[in-house]
Structure 1
Amino acid sequence: MKKILLILSVFLVFVSVYSFKTIHENKINSEVNFYNGSLKEAVIKAKKEKKMIFLDIYATWCGPCKLLKKTTFKDPELSDYLNKKFISLEINGEEGEGKEIVQKYQLKGYPSLLFIDTNGNIVNKTLGYYDGKQLLEIVKEIK
């Protein structure tokens, strides 16, 4: 009987440690995977993968932009949906390519969140901070 209890105890400890490790790893990995490239490269990738583009135009000094990165883009449901359905890209609107994008799409502030088709056309855009649930509702309406 003692042997069975010992085996059962060891098994329960193993399951608990494994479950904690798996939950912890899922939390670490549950964030939006942003593509590291230009908008032009993202459009090519989006065409190849038959996805749309989610583009976050931010500024380094922007409080709501920082909050999006810290909270919203780490929301598990939102990140899972974006990672499956979109090529996500984040670009500083005050540097390099970002300045051109701000001008081209006549953006008025930060953060500007754009949904772009594979031809580079805006399907939808919004301005400002959203929590994960709010942004997921917007994202799911994009066709």
Structure 2
Amino acid sequence: MKKILLALFLLLGTLSIQAQEIRWMSLDEALAKQKKNPKPILMNVYTDWYGPCKMMDANTFHDAAVADFINKNYYAVKFNAEGNSSVNYQGTTYTNPGYDPNRKGRNSAHDLTKFLKVQQYPSIFVIGKTGSVQTSIVGYRTPEQLLSDLR
């Protein structure tokens, strides 16, 4: 009986931890899902090297209330503003032709980052059900601030 209770406790603990994580996907995946089941996309535009981006990931996006709210109401996209991915958005393919895999720290801005006119990292863009940008949230946000901005 003790083994069964322990196994149940561990299973429930694992499920509750998994439920607190945002289900990130690529923009292409989110746009495809949006066509089948329309709901807005929350796109986190970040860099690997910038402290506030790292803080937002560690503090805000790992907050249980934030993760649950985003998972229920949005398709979540994590987009590296200086990455090397190829992204299709509104009939155009965006890449980063200046990307240098050997460069440490900052890299060139991705063409999608330029198209979105990102002024500061991190930036969050909400893409509406029709696929166009509705709003942007610029800079670091605490969990409480982000939930307030999104409601």
TM-score (norm 1): 0.76
Asked if 1:92 corresponds to 2:103, the answer is no
Match of 1:127 in 2: 138
Query: Superposition RMSD on alpha carbons, in Å?
Result: 2.3
Q: Which of 22, 28, 32 in structure 2 is aligned with 1:32? A: 22
Identical aligned pairs, as a percentage? 26
Structure 1 or 2, whichever has the larger Rg, is 1
TM-score (norm 2): 0.72
Mapped to 2, the partners of 1:64 and 1:84 lie a distance apart of 25
Q: 1:99 to 1:76 in 2, by over 3 A?
A: same
On the 8 A contact 1:43/1:119 being kept in 2, the answer is no
Q: After the TM superposition, which residues 22-101 of structure 1 pair with which residues of structure 2 at under 5 Å, given as runs?
A: 22-23=12-13, 25-35=15-25, 37=26, 39-96=27-84, 97=95, 99-101=110-112
Structure 2: any 5+ residue segments left out of the alignment? Answer: 85-94, 96-108
Mapped to 2, the partners of 1:121 and 1:103 lie a distance apart of 16
Mapped to 2, the partners of 1:34 and 1:134 lie a distance apart of 20
Structure 1: any 5+ residue segments left out of the alignment? Answer: 1-9
**2:22 aligned counterpart, secondary structure:** coil
**1:82 aligned counterpart, secondary structure:** helix
Count how many residue pairs are aligned between Structure 1 and Structure 2. 128
- Structure with the higher fraction of residues in helix conformation: 1
On the 8 A contact 2:45/2:121 being kept in 1, the answer is yes
